[in-house]
Structure 1
C-alpha cells in the first residue's frame, strides 16, 4: 500500500535504491541537498542540481521540466550524510510562473525501481513561494525514513539554500543553478516546440511500472506543441503527447479495429527470492550506478548541441540508452505535432481570409479582391515555410542523434545488421527491453526510432498474416504474406532466446498443418526448441495441456507461498508458445485453453505468439475478439496501423527482419544452443 503523506508525516523505507518522481504541471528545477546529523549542508559540493547533476548515490535531471525522476541509492551515500532534502524551484525565465501559488499543487512520489509507490505527497498551501523543500529522506538509528516537508520560500533558491546552512555561498550557488538552466549549460527545456536552434531536447526517464495501456505507470504531464513563434502569425498551441514507452509501443490504441493496443513501458523489479521469480523485468542482481554519462563539447554560438549516445538519466548505460531512445520517440512526436498544428492553423486562417474576401461585395469590383487573395496565400505560404524550417531543423538534430545512438545499442536493442551481433554471447542478465522493429512518420521516413518492448513480456504478440489497408495492399499472393509473417515470428523468437540467459527461456511451436517447416527450420536445426513442432490435433492438445498445467501449478504455488513445492521436473524458465496458422486444427477445447493461456499465462511466465489472419477466425464469431484485443499486433511488412492517441499520429511500423543472405540469425541461434547445452527432444 502507498502511504499518502501529509505535511510533517513520515514513513519507513525498506529499500535503499529508490526513485523520486516529481510532477508539477509546469517546468520546475529539481535538486537535492545532503545534510549532516543536524541537517546542515556543509558546502556547495553537497548540493546536486542541474549544473552538477551527479553525486554518489544521487542523480537529478539536467534541465527544468514538468516531470522529474531523481535516482537515489541510500546505500552508497557517505556515512556523514544523514539527510537528503529534495528541492523544487521555479526557473528564472521571462514569462514563466514566478510563484507556486499560480501552479497546480506539485506531486512527489517515492517509488521502488519496479515503479511501485512507497509514499507520495501533494504539496498544498503554497502561494508566493518560488522554491520549496518537498520532502526529506533521513537516517534514524541505521534505518531510513521519508518525511513530507512542504516548506516554501518566497525568497527563492537563495533563501532556501541559506536556510539549509550554506550562508554566503547560497546566493552564488542559486545564481549558478539558474545559469545552468537558462544558459543551456545543462540540457534545456524543449517544451513547447519549436525550440531555439541552440537548444537541446527534454530528456525524461521512461514511464513507471505497468506493461499494458491499462497498467501504465507515472507518465509525464502533457506539454504543448506550438506553431513557429516570434511572429504575429504564430499559430495557437495544441496538446502534445504524453510520453509513451517507445517505443515500447507508441500507440495506446490501434487505428484498425483488428488488433490490440501496444503495451506501455514497465518498471524493473529486483529479484524476490525463491526458486521462481516472475517480477518485472526479472533482473537477478542489483548493479551499482554506472559511471556518469558522456558529455559532448559545448556547441558553438547558434549551433545545436552535439548528440552523445547514453546521455539520458539512468543507473546503467543500458538504461540510459533505453531512456534516450524513448526520448527520441517523444521528440519526434512533439515536433511532428507542432508542424501539423502550424500547417492546420495556416490552412484555417487562409480559408477564413478567403471567405471574408468573398463575402464582401466591394472586393468583387476591380483588383482589390485579387490582391486580398494573393496576400492571404502569401501569408499561408510564409507560415507553412516557417513551420517547415523548424521541422527540418529538429528532424536534422534527431537524425544526427539517431546516427550516434544506433551503433551504440546493445544486442537486445540493435537491428540485425548491427555489428554487435557478430560478437554475441549468451547474456548473464535479462535486458530491460527488446527491439520489436522500427517506427517512423511520413515527415521523414528515413528517421526510424527503435520500438522497444519491456521484458518480460506482459502480453502476447500477434503477427498478422492477413491483408491491411496500407502496408500489405501490394501483396497479391497470400501464401507469400503468410511466409513473411512466419519469418517475422522466427526473428522475434530468436531475439527473445538471445535476450535471456542460458536455460531461462523455452520455446514451443504448434504447426498443426505442418505448413511452416521451411521458415521454422532455423529454430529446429539449431536445437533451441523444447521439442519438435507439434502437428495435428494430438500435437496441439498435448502442448496446450502441458502449458495449461504449468500455469495452474505455478499459480497455486505462488498463491499459497509454496514455490519450493513445485514438481522437480517443472521447467521454471519463461515459456513462449508460437502458434502457426491459428485457428487451423483448433477445436473449441483448444481455443478455450489458448484464451486461458493468453489471460493467465503472462503473470506466471507463459507467453503467446500467434501467426494468424483474423479473417480466418471469422467462423468463430466474436468468441476470439477478446484474444485479439489482448495481444500486440505486429505486421510482417511496413504498415501504419499503430495510432498515437495523444497527438493523433499514425506511426508506420517496420518489422526487424534479417537482411537477405545474412547468417546472423544462424550465428545467434548457434550461440544460444551452445550456451544451453545439447537438445534432447
Structure 2
C-alpha cells in the first residue's frame, strides 16, 4: 500500500533499491545531493545533476523533463552519507515558467524496483519558489526512511544549494542551467580509442565544458575516499534524447544505458580487437545486476544507437538538400548565368556537391548499421524467452519461470533506413497500460488489405500476445479471460481453448458479457478496498488475487450502455490491482458513442496486426515501424508452450 505523505511526515523504506518518480506539468530539472550526519553537502562532487548524473548508489535524469525516474541503491551509498535530498528546479533561460505557484503541484512517488508504491507526496502550497527540496531519504539507527520536505526557494537553485552548505552554489547552479539550455547534458563525446583488449570504455562523467566557459559545470568527482562506482541499475522510462553522433568513426557505444562501471557479475568480454577496429559485439555487454537486466539495457542501447545514427543521416541529407536549393536559387538569380554555359556548370557543380554529401552520409550510416547488425546477430540468440522471438530455439526447452521477468517482447521495431535490422520492442512488467489491437484499416501500411482479413489477423495477434504473457509469468500469478460476444473469434481462440489455459470458456452473448464484467467489477472493488484499507486478510476465501488479462473481441458489438460503462471502469481502475484490458477493435466501429470512449482509447497502447509506422519517437521525431510477433508458418511452438503452461498451472493447483 502506498503511503500518502504530508509535509514533514516520514515513512520507513522497505528495501534498498528504489526509484523516485517525479511528475510535473512542465519540464523541470531533477537532482540529488548527498549530505553528512550534520546535513551538510561537502562539495560539488556530492551533487548529482544533469551534467553529472551518476554518484555511487544513485542516478538522476540527464535532461529537463516533465517526468523523471531517479534510481537509488541505498546500500551502495558511502558510509559517510546520512541524507539524500531530492531536488527539483525550473530551468532558467528556456522561456518556461519562472515559479511553481502558477503550475499544478509537482508529485514525487517512491517505488520499489518492481514498481510497487512505497510513498507518495504532492508538493502543494508553492508560490514564488522556482526550486524545491521534494523528499529526503535519511538514515536513522541503521534504518532508511523517507520524509516529505516540500521546502521551496524563491532564489532558485543557487539558493537551495547554498542552504545545503555549498560554497560553490551559484556557479554550480549556473552551470546546471547552462547545460540544460545549451544541451550540454545531452551531448555525447566522440568515441575514445578502443582498448587493446577490445573492452568498451564506459562513461562515468559528463563531458567537460570548454575552458573559460562561464558557469561551466564542474567535472564530476566521487566523494573523497569513495571508489568509483556506476549506477547499480538504469532508471527506466522514456529514452534519453538521441543526439547525432560525431561525424566519422563507428557508433559511440557509450550511451546512457551502457555507461557506469561494470556490475558485480562481470558481463562477457569480446575477444581482442586490433587497434583502430570496432569492438566485437558481445551479448550482455551493458550494465546490470543480472544477465537479463544487461540484455534488457543492451536492447534499449541498440534502439538508441539506431535512432541516433538515422537522425544523423536524415539531418545530413536535409542539409545537403537545402544547400543545393540555395545554390541553385543563387545561380538562377545571377543574370550572367542565364546565357551560355556558366549556369549549366554552376548547376552541375551544386549537384555534384549534393551527391558527395549524401554519399558520405550514407557511408557513415551503412558503417553504423553494419555494426548494429553484427550486435543484433549475437544478442538475439542470447535473449531469454520473455525477450525472444517465437522462432528462437529457447522456446523448445521452455519451462515455467519462477519469477516475473523485467519485461516482455510485444513485437519488433525498425526504420526505413534499416529495413533488415529489427530491434525487439520490450515493455516492462507488470504492464502499466492495457493493449489495443487495432483491427481497422486506418493505420495499415497496405491499403489493399481486406477488412475481414484484418479482423482475423487482429484476433490471432491478440492470442499470440496472450500466450506470451501466460508463458512468462510463474504458475498461478497470471490468468486470461475472453469476451467474444458473437463467437466470431472461435477459430483464432482455439489454441487457448484447447490447451486449457483459460479460466473459463470465452463469454458469448449479451448475458455472458454482462456476467463477466459484473464479476470482474466486483473483484476490482474488493481488491481496491483491501489495498486501501490494509485489510487483505479480510478478502473472501477463494478470491483470485493474481494478475488478469481480459481480452475483449470485436468491441463494441454485443455491448449495451451498462456494459460499456463497466468496461471503462475496469480500464481506469483495473491496472491498480493487476487487471489489464486487451481490446481487439476498430475505433471507427465505436464512433456511435461519440467522444465517450476517447479516454479509453488514449489509455491503451495501440498495436497493429500488420506492419504499421504509428509509433512516434518524441526525442528525434522518428516514426518507427511496428511489426507484430509472428509464429513461424507450420510451427507448433505456440501449442507446445501453451500445453506446458497448462501443465505447470495444473501442478501448481495440486
In the superposition, the TM-score normalised over structure 1's length comes to 0.67
Q: Distance in 1 between matches of 2:647 and 2:360?
A: 57
Cα distance in 2 for residues equivalent to 1:394 and 1:203: 27
User: How much has 1:393 moved relative to structure 2?
Assistant: 1.1
**Structure 1: 5+ residue stretches without partners:** 23-29, 40-53, 87-100, 104-108, 120-135, 157-178, 193-201, 209-216, 231-241, 245-288
Deviation at residue 455 of structure 1 after TM alignment: 1.1
CA shift digits 1:115-151 (9 cap, x unpaired)? 78999xxxxxxxxxxxxxxxx9997743468996757
Q: Is the 8 A contact 2:69 2:235 kept in 1?
A: no
SS of residue matched to 1:343 = helix
Name the SS of the counterpart of 2:285 in structure 1.
coil
Output the CA distance in 2 between the equivalents of 1:490 and 1:424. Answer: 18
Write the distance in 1 (CA, Å) between the matches of 2:318 and 2:601: 35
For residue 645 of structure 1, the aligned residue among 603, 618, 621 is 618
Give the CA deviation at 1:622: 2.5
Q: Deviations over 1:159-207 (max 9, x none)?
A: xxxxxxxxxxxxxxxxxxxx99954551369999xxxxxxxxx999654
Q: Which residue among 225, 237, 243 is the counterpart of 2:244?
A: 225
Q: CA deviation at 1:549?
A: 0.8
Residue 465 of structure 2 is aligned to residue 492 of structure 1:
yes
Structure-2 separation of matches of 1:402 and 1:584: 43
Give CA-to-partner distance per residue, 1:43-101, whole Å, 9 cap, x none. xxxxxxxxxxx99x96999xx987999976554899xx555999xxxxxxxxxxxxxx9
- Relative to structure 1, the CA distance from residue 645 to residue 548 in structure 2 (aligned partners, 3 Å threshold; closer, same or farther) is same
C-alpha deviation, 1:333, in angstroms: 0.9
Aligned partner of 2:16 in structure 1 is 16
Separation in structure 1 between the aligned mates of residue 120 and residue 337 of structure 2, nearest angstrom = 68
Higher-RCO chain (CA-CA 8 Å, sequence separation at least 6): 1
- Report the Cα offset of residue 218 of structure 1: 7.4
Could you say which residue in structure 2 is the equivalent of 1:142? 142
The residue aligned with 1:420 is 394
State which drifts further: 350-359 or 366-375.
366-375
Pick the aligned partner of 1:309 from 283, 287, 307: 283
1:369-388 to 2 correspondences below 5 Å? 369-388=343-362
Q: Distance in 2 between matches of 1:110 and 1:613?
A: 36
CA offset digits 1:375-407 (Å, max 9, x no partner): 111111111111111111111111111111111
Aligned partner of 1:358 in structure 2 is 332
Q: Is the 8 A contact 1:227 1:387 kept in 2?
A: no
Cα deviation, 1:607-649, whole Å, max 9, x if unaligned, reads 1111112222233233222222221111111111212222221
How does 1:563-578 map onto structure 2 within 5 Å?
563-578=536-551
Q: Please name the residue that 2:131 is paired with.
A: none
Q: Structure 1 pair 151/17, CA: closer, same or farther in 2 (3 Å)?
A: farther
Find the counterpart in structure 1 of residue 202 from structure 2: 187
How far residue 421 of structure 1 moved from its aligned partner, in angstroms, is 0.8
1:462 counterpart (432, 436, 440): 436
Q: Deviations over 1:334-369 (max 9, x none)?
A: 111111011001000100000000001011232221
Residue from 560, 563, 566 that aligns with 1:590: 563
Q: Secondary structure at the match of 2:386?
A: helix
Alpha-carbon separation, structure 1, partners of 2:369 and 2:621: 19
Tell me by how many angstroms 1:491 deviates: 0.5
- Unpaired stretches in structure 2, ≥5 consecutive residues: 23-30, 41-53, 85-91, 95-107, 122-135, 147-160, 173-188, 196-200, 208-229, 250-254, 258-262
Pairing of 1:471-482 with structure 2 (within 5 A): 471-476=445-450, 478-482=451-455
Aligned positions of 1:30-109 closer than 5 A: 73-75=73-75, 82=80
Quick one: distance in 1 between partners of 2:204 and 2:355? 29
After the TM superposition, which residues 98-497 of structure 1 pair with which residues of structure 2 at under 5 Å, given as runs? Answer: 113-114=112-113, 141-143=141-143, 182-185=192-195, 186-187=201-202, 207-208=235-236, 220=240, 222=241, 224-225=243-244, 228=247, 291-468=265-442, 470-476=444-450, 478-497=451-470
Distance 2:266 2:71 in 1: 13
Structure 2 vs 1, CA of residues 137 and 623 (structure 1 numbering), >3 Å: closer, same or farther? closer
Change in CA separation of 1:118 and 1:297 when aligned onto 2, cut-off 3 Å = farther
Separation in structure 2 between the aligned mates of residue 496 and residue 144 of structure 1, nearest angstrom? 35
Deviation (angstroms), 1:467: 1.2
Give the one of 600, 605, 609 matched to 2:578: 605
In 2, the alpha carbon distance for the partners of 1:644 and 1:498 equals: 29
Q: 1:290 to 1:486 in 2, by over 3 A?
A: farther
Number of matched pairs: 530
2:531 counterpart residue number = 558
Aligned Cα root-mean-square deviation (Å): 4.9
Q: Secondary structure at the match of 1:522?
A: helix
Q: How far apart, in 2, do the equivalents of 1:72 and 1:631 lie?
A: 30
Distance 1:60 1:320, change over 3 A: farther
Partner of 1:251: none
Q: Cα–Cα, structure 1 residues 298 and 149, in superposed 2: closer, same or farther, change >3 Å?
A: farther
**Retained in 2: the 8 A contact 1:507–1:528?**
yes
